[in-house]
Copies of this chain bind each other. A is one copy, B any other.
Amino acid sequence: MTDVAAPTGSKSEQAYAAVKARIIDGDYSPGYRLVLSKIAEDLGVSVVPVREAIRRLEAEGLVKFERNVGATVAGIDPTEYLYTMQTLSIVEGAATALSAPLIGAADIARARAVNEEMRECLEHFDPVRFTRLNQDFHSVLFEHCPNPHILDLVHRGWNRLASLRSSTFRFVPGRAHDSVDEHEGLLRLIETAAAADEIEKAARRHRSATLDAYLAQTNTGSLSAH
Protein backbone atom coordinates (compact mmCIF):
# COMPACT_ATOMS: atom_id res chain seq x y z
CA MET A 1 0.00 0.00 0.00
CA THR A 2 2.84 2.30 0.78
CA ASP A 3 5.57 1.32 -1.57
CA VAL A 4 3.85 -0.58 -4.31
CA ALA A 5 5.95 1.16 -6.95
CA ALA A 6 2.67 1.90 -8.74
CA PRO A 7 3.67 2.29 -12.36
CA THR A 8 0.66 4.45 -12.88
CA GLY A 9 2.57 6.54 -15.31
CA SER A 10 1.31 9.58 -13.48
CA LYS A 11 3.98 12.21 -13.03
CA SER A 12 2.96 12.46 -9.45
CA GLU A 13 3.74 8.81 -8.83
CA GLN A 14 6.92 9.19 -10.76
CA ALA A 15 8.07 12.05 -8.60
CA TYR A 16 7.02 10.22 -5.46
CA ALA A 17 8.94 7.11 -6.36
CA ALA A 18 11.99 9.06 -7.46
CA VAL A 19 12.29 11.21 -4.37
CA LYS A 20 11.47 8.36 -2.04
CA ALA A 21 14.15 6.21 -3.61
CA ARG A 22 16.70 8.97 -3.28
CA ILE A 23 15.87 9.38 0.38
CA ILE A 24 15.91 5.70 1.21
CA ASP A 25 19.08 5.11 -0.74
CA GLY A 26 20.67 7.95 1.11
CA ASP A 27 21.27 10.15 -1.93
CA TYR A 28 19.33 12.76 -0.04
CA SER A 29 20.51 12.76 3.57
CA PRO A 30 18.53 14.03 6.52
CA GLY A 31 18.42 17.80 6.46
CA TYR A 32 18.78 17.97 2.70
CA ARG A 33 16.74 20.81 1.32
CA LEU A 34 14.06 19.68 -1.11
CA VAL A 35 13.24 22.64 -3.32
CA LEU A 36 10.13 21.94 -5.32
CA SER A 37 11.13 23.84 -8.42
CA LYS A 38 14.53 22.23 -8.46
CA ILE A 39 13.18 18.71 -8.19
CA ALA A 40 10.58 19.51 -10.80
CA GLU A 41 13.29 20.56 -13.19
CA ASP A 42 15.39 17.50 -12.42
CA LEU A 43 12.51 15.18 -13.16
CA GLY A 44 11.23 17.11 -16.12
CA VAL A 45 7.80 17.78 -14.66
CA SER A 46 6.11 20.81 -13.21
CA VAL A 47 6.00 21.69 -9.55
CA VAL A 48 2.43 20.58 -8.90
CA PRO A 49 3.01 16.84 -9.06
CA VAL A 50 6.25 17.26 -7.17
CA ARG A 51 4.45 19.05 -4.42
CA GLU A 52 1.96 16.25 -4.22
CA ALA A 53 4.76 13.71 -3.97
CA ILE A 54 6.51 15.64 -1.24
CA ARG A 55 3.38 15.93 0.85
CA ARG A 56 2.81 12.23 0.52
CA LEU A 57 6.32 11.61 1.75
CA GLU A 58 5.64 14.02 4.56
CA ALA A 59 2.64 11.96 5.62
CA GLU A 60 4.90 8.94 5.76
CA GLY A 61 7.36 10.76 7.94
CA LEU A 62 10.19 10.79 5.42
CA VAL A 63 10.03 14.51 4.82
CA LYS A 64 9.50 17.53 7.00
CA PHE A 65 7.54 20.32 5.43
CA GLU A 66 7.34 23.82 6.81
CA ARG A 67 4.78 26.18 5.46
CA ASN A 68 6.19 28.89 3.29
CA VAL A 69 9.65 27.68 4.07
CA GLY A 70 10.18 24.40 2.35
CA ALA A 71 10.75 20.70 2.67
CA THR A 72 13.74 18.89 4.08
CA VAL A 73 14.52 15.22 4.38
CA ALA A 74 13.34 14.27 7.84
CA GLY A 75 16.04 13.55 10.29
CA ILE A 76 15.28 11.38 13.23
CA ASP A 77 16.23 12.45 16.70
CA PRO A 78 16.51 10.05 19.61
CA THR A 79 12.92 10.62 20.61
CA GLU A 80 11.60 9.95 17.15
CA TYR A 81 13.81 6.91 16.97
CA LEU A 82 12.33 5.63 20.17
CA TYR A 83 8.77 6.20 18.97
CA THR A 84 9.44 4.51 15.68
CA MET A 85 11.20 1.51 17.15
CA GLN A 86 8.55 1.06 19.79
CA THR A 87 5.81 1.18 17.20
CA LEU A 88 7.70 -1.20 14.97
CA SER A 89 8.14 -3.57 17.85
CA ILE A 90 4.39 -3.75 18.19
CA VAL A 91 3.37 -3.98 14.56
CA GLU A 92 6.18 -6.36 13.66
CA GLY A 93 5.20 -8.55 16.57
CA ALA A 94 1.65 -8.65 15.32
CA ALA A 95 2.68 -9.17 11.73
CA THR A 96 4.93 -12.05 12.64
CA ALA A 97 2.34 -13.72 14.82
CA LEU A 98 -0.30 -13.39 12.13
CA SER A 99 2.01 -14.64 9.43
CA ALA A 100 3.45 -17.58 11.36
CA PRO A 101 0.71 -20.11 10.66
CA LEU A 102 1.03 -19.38 6.97
CA ILE A 103 4.77 -19.85 6.76
CA GLY A 104 5.73 -23.15 5.16
CA ALA A 105 8.82 -25.31 5.38
CA ALA A 106 10.17 -23.83 2.17
CA ASP A 107 9.94 -20.34 3.59
CA ILE A 108 11.68 -21.41 6.75
CA ALA A 109 14.49 -22.93 4.73
CA ARG A 110 14.85 -19.79 2.70
CA ALA A 111 14.91 -17.59 5.77
CA ARG A 112 17.42 -19.85 7.46
CA ALA A 113 19.69 -19.68 4.43
CA VAL A 114 19.51 -15.91 4.49
CA ASN A 115 20.29 -15.90 8.17
CA GLU A 116 23.37 -18.05 7.66
CA GLU A 117 24.55 -15.63 5.03
CA MET A 118 24.10 -12.90 7.58
CA ARG A 119 26.31 -14.80 9.95
CA GLU A 120 28.97 -14.91 7.29
CA CYS A 121 28.66 -11.20 6.79
CA LEU A 122 29.53 -10.76 10.42
CA GLU A 123 32.77 -12.62 9.97
CA HIS A 124 33.73 -10.78 6.82
CA PHE A 125 32.41 -7.55 8.27
CA ASP A 126 30.06 -6.55 5.49
CA PRO A 127 27.44 -4.33 7.14
CA VAL A 128 25.89 -3.18 3.89
CA ARG A 129 25.12 -6.69 2.76
CA PHE A 130 24.09 -7.55 6.30
CA THR A 131 21.45 -4.86 6.24
CA ARG A 132 20.07 -6.01 2.92
CA LEU A 133 19.92 -9.61 4.06
CA ASN A 134 18.23 -8.56 7.24
CA GLN A 135 15.50 -7.00 5.13
CA ASP A 136 15.23 -10.18 3.09
CA PHE A 137 14.95 -12.28 6.21
CA HIS A 138 12.06 -10.33 7.58
CA SER A 139 10.42 -10.08 4.20
CA VAL A 140 10.17 -13.85 4.14
CA LEU A 141 8.46 -13.73 7.49
CA PHE A 142 6.08 -10.97 6.57
CA GLU A 143 5.21 -11.77 2.99
CA HIS A 144 2.35 -14.01 4.05
CA CYS A 145 0.88 -11.52 6.49
CA PRO A 146 -2.88 -11.76 5.99
CA ASN A 147 -3.55 -8.20 7.10
CA PRO A 148 -2.29 -5.67 4.56
CA HIS A 149 -2.88 -2.77 6.92
CA ILE A 150 -0.43 -4.14 9.42
CA LEU A 151 2.03 -5.01 6.70
CA ASP A 152 1.82 -1.44 5.49
CA LEU A 153 2.64 -0.15 8.94
CA VAL A 154 5.68 -2.38 9.06
CA HIS A 155 6.88 -1.09 5.72
CA ARG A 156 6.42 2.49 6.82
CA GLY A 157 8.52 1.88 9.86
CA TRP A 158 11.26 0.31 7.82
CA ASN A 159 11.27 3.18 5.39
CA ARG A 160 11.44 5.63 8.23
CA LEU A 161 14.50 3.88 9.56
CA ALA A 162 16.07 3.44 6.16
CA SER A 163 17.24 7.02 6.03
CA LEU A 164 19.32 6.28 9.10
CA ARG A 165 21.66 4.04 7.20
CA SER A 166 25.26 4.61 8.14
CA SER A 167 24.11 7.00 10.81
CA THR A 168 25.06 6.93 14.44
CA PHE A 169 22.04 4.84 15.35
CA ARG A 170 23.02 1.76 13.51
CA PHE A 171 26.17 0.44 15.03
CA VAL A 172 25.86 -1.01 18.45
CA PRO A 173 28.70 -3.41 19.23
CA GLY A 174 27.66 -7.02 19.45
CA ARG A 175 24.05 -6.33 18.64
CA ALA A 176 24.30 -7.89 15.20
CA HIS A 177 25.45 -11.23 16.61
CA ASP A 178 22.55 -11.36 19.01
CA SER A 179 20.22 -10.42 16.20
CA VAL A 180 21.22 -13.40 14.12
CA ASP A 181 20.69 -15.69 17.08
CA GLU A 182 17.29 -14.22 17.70
CA HIS A 183 16.41 -14.87 14.09
CA GLU A 184 17.18 -18.52 14.55
CA GLY A 185 15.08 -18.57 17.69
CA LEU A 186 12.19 -17.04 15.82
CA LEU A 187 12.43 -19.64 13.08
CA ARG A 188 12.38 -22.41 15.66
CA LEU A 189 9.25 -21.04 17.24
CA ILE A 190 7.56 -20.77 13.88
CA GLU A 191 8.45 -24.22 12.63
CA THR A 192 7.35 -25.86 15.86
CA ALA A 193 4.06 -24.00 15.56
CA ALA A 194 4.48 -22.28 18.89
CA ALA A 195 1.62 -20.30 20.37
CA ALA A 196 0.92 -17.00 18.63
CA ASP A 197 1.60 -15.33 21.94
CA GLU A 198 5.10 -16.69 22.15
CA ILE A 199 5.93 -15.79 18.59
CA GLU A 200 4.64 -12.29 19.02
CA LYS A 201 6.66 -11.77 22.18
CA ALA A 202 9.81 -13.05 20.55
CA ALA A 203 9.36 -10.81 17.53
CA ARG A 204 8.75 -7.86 19.77
CA ARG A 205 11.79 -8.55 21.83
CA HIS A 206 13.87 -8.87 18.71
CA ARG A 207 13.02 -5.31 17.86
CA SER A 208 13.08 -3.80 21.32
CA ALA A 209 16.44 -5.41 21.99
CA THR A 210 17.91 -3.22 19.27
CA LEU A 211 16.26 -0.22 20.80
CA ASP A 212 17.50 -1.16 24.25
CA ALA A 213 21.00 -1.63 22.97
CA TYR A 214 20.86 1.88 21.63
CA LEU A 215 19.35 3.27 24.80
CA ALA A 216 21.93 1.51 26.92
CA GLN A 217 24.63 3.16 24.89
CA THR A 218 23.15 6.52 25.56
CA ASN A 219 22.03 5.50 29.06
CA THR A 220 18.57 6.96 28.91
CA GLY A 221 16.51 4.13 30.36
CA SER A 222 14.90 0.99 28.98
CA LEU A 223 11.73 0.01 27.23
CA SER A 224 12.07 -3.74 27.00
CA ALA A 225 9.50 -4.05 29.74
CA HIS A 226 6.52 -4.36 27.50
Contacts and interface: CB of A to CB of B under 8 A. Distances in A.
Interface in A52-105: 52, 55-56, 59, 67, 83-84, 86-87, 90-91, 94, 97-98
Contacts of A196: 225-226
Contact of A149 (B8, B84, B200): B84
A55 to B, nearest CB: 6
B98 A94 contact: no
A153 B84 CA distance: 12
Contacts of A8: 67
A162 to B, nearest CB: 16
Given A67-B8, A98-B226, A196-B225, A150 B87 contact: yes
B147 A87 contact: yes
Contact of A55 (B56, B91, B226): B56
A220 interface: no
A26 interface: no
A109 interface: no
A172 interface: no
Interface size band for A? 20 to 34
A10 interface: yes
The 6 A-B pairs at the shortest CB distance, nearest first, are namely: A87-B149, A90-B94, A83-B149, A196-B226, A83-B147, A59-B59
Interface of A: 8, 10, 48, 51-52, 55-56, 59, 67, 83-84, 86-87, 90-91, 94, 97-98, 147-150, 153, 196-197, 200, 225-226
Given A10-B67, A91-B91, 19 more contacts: A51-B52, A55-B55, A55-B56, A56-B59, A59-B59, A83-B149, A83-B150, A86-B149, A86-B150, A87-B147, A87-B149, A90-B91, A90-B94, A90-B150, A94-B226, A97-B226, A153-B153, A197-B226, A200-B226
18 contacts: A8-B67, A48-B48, A51-B52, A52-B52, A55-B55, A59-B59, A83-B148, A83-B150, A84-B149, A86-B147, A86-B149, A87-B147, A87-B149, A91-B91, A94-B226, A98-B226, A196-B226, A197-B226
